[in-house]
Amino acid sequence: MRFFPTFFDLVDKPCLVVGGGEAAARKLRLLRRARARVTVVARDPIEEIADLAAAGEVDLVRRGFVDGDLQGRVLAIGASGQDEIDTRLAEAAAARGVPVNIVDRPALSSFTVPAIVDRDPIVVAVSSGGTAPVLARRLRARIEALLPARLGRLAELADSFRDSVKATYPSESARRRFWENFFDGPAAADALAGRESQAREKILDLVNRRPKKLVPAGSVAIVGAGPGDPDLLTLRAAALLQDAEVIVYDRLVGPGVLEHARRDAVRVYVGKSRGHQAKSQDEINALLRAYARAGKRVVRLKGGDPFVFGRGGEERDYLRRHGVAVQVVPGITAATACGAVAGIPLTHRDHAAAVTLVTGQGKDGAPEPDWAALAGSRHTLVIYMGVATAERTTQRLIAHGLSGDTPLAVIENGTRSDERVILGALQGLPALLRNHGVRGPAIIVIGEVARHADAATHIAAPHALAV
């Protein structure tokens, strides 16, 4: 390790920036975020720097650099882009013991400026030692995606209770258990979700209650995993996967999605498919409750969105009835994601003023859908889990007035590497599925909007080739 990682306290400290171009402006923005007092030395600064100087936000000296500019500075940055000036600044700073960074010149620098994830007061810095700044920025982006936007507010909330906690728990080990319980529990979840008043009430209750033995409060997050492509996970879903101790997941969760989970998390597969169930819904509900009551942070991971044919509502109601803290994180549902990647708009001013999502696998004993409404004109119909019931669906829709020539698209394994888009017409749907060996997971998009699929210039034959 060549560069020792550290953080400077620059609040109200005098710093120097040499240079007046865009590179200097970028460093100036960072120093101002750190609330440093900055002097810029530049003959011809860009408008951004000049405006800040005119507003009294920075001091601007319109000339070239001289060694005396380093007098009293705690840190200097060279961003002139001119070898002679940058080298002279680096040598003068070294002679005076002033830490210096020369932009894109690690050999002349005594410190480097890392890629920064700012969740003030939480700050994460990623450095390549100046060897690969683009790589450092890419790593920063990945880390930033995992950290909740309100992480800084959570840290500030905890800080506001530090004295109270210290007075209530004089033992260092007891305080550590308290904070572990807080950060793992519902109070922190409220703070990260922006419910600060509820979070304050919960942490105040924890302080006042002072239980003899702090047991971590378990919770369940019902999380939408999206349609399969792990890059389509929401930021909150990715963060919860990193935090979860137990992950209970379905068959439709893409394998790459689980790579976002922490490696020591317990993974429990409860996938269901037609004619086969790893666990019944009652067993899944009881499993979630048991893990939560054991103090575990549980993620119930579902393909797509948990509230769109995912039975997430049933699980949420069950957990709430049994006193388990539960939150729901939406995911990108298959209809919108698969339609988008296939180039199919679900609504279109020329073709469809409405879209209906319907499942081909209803609850046992449920009444038939309103086929007349589903067969209406200027309407897009998206069928989930409809492969096994395709023949009945085709017959019912045609019997209720929908033309057998209505175009459709079958999207199998949408957004995944093995995705297929198969085009055809309604009257040939059962044969289309048989001929192409479609087994799912797949959605069926029925309506004029299917003509917009990227897979074809037109949809005339009922047995178009897969792409």
Catalytic residue ranges: 250, 272
Distance CA 85, CA 82 (A): 6
Dihedral (Cα; 241, 225, 234, 345), 10-degree rounding: 170
| Rounded Cα gap, residues 390 and 372, in angstroms | 17
Q: In the chain, what's the furthest Cα-to-Cα distance?
A: 90
Q: How far apart are CA 366 and CA 257, in angstroms?
A: 33
The gap between the terminal CA atoms of the chain, to the nearest Å, is 50
- One-letter amino acid of 325: A
DSSP string, 7-73: ----TT-EEEEE--SHHHHHHHHHHHHTT-EEEEE-SS--HHHHHHHHTTSSEEE-S---GGGGTT-
Q: How far apart are CA 424 and CA 450, in angstroms?
A: 9
Which single residue is written with the structure tokens 């490696």?
Answer: 263
Going by C-alpha positions, the residue among 69, 87, 64, 33 that lies closest to residue 78 is: 87
Dihedral over Cα of 424, 427, 432, 435: its sign = negative
Token duo for residue 246? 């137990």
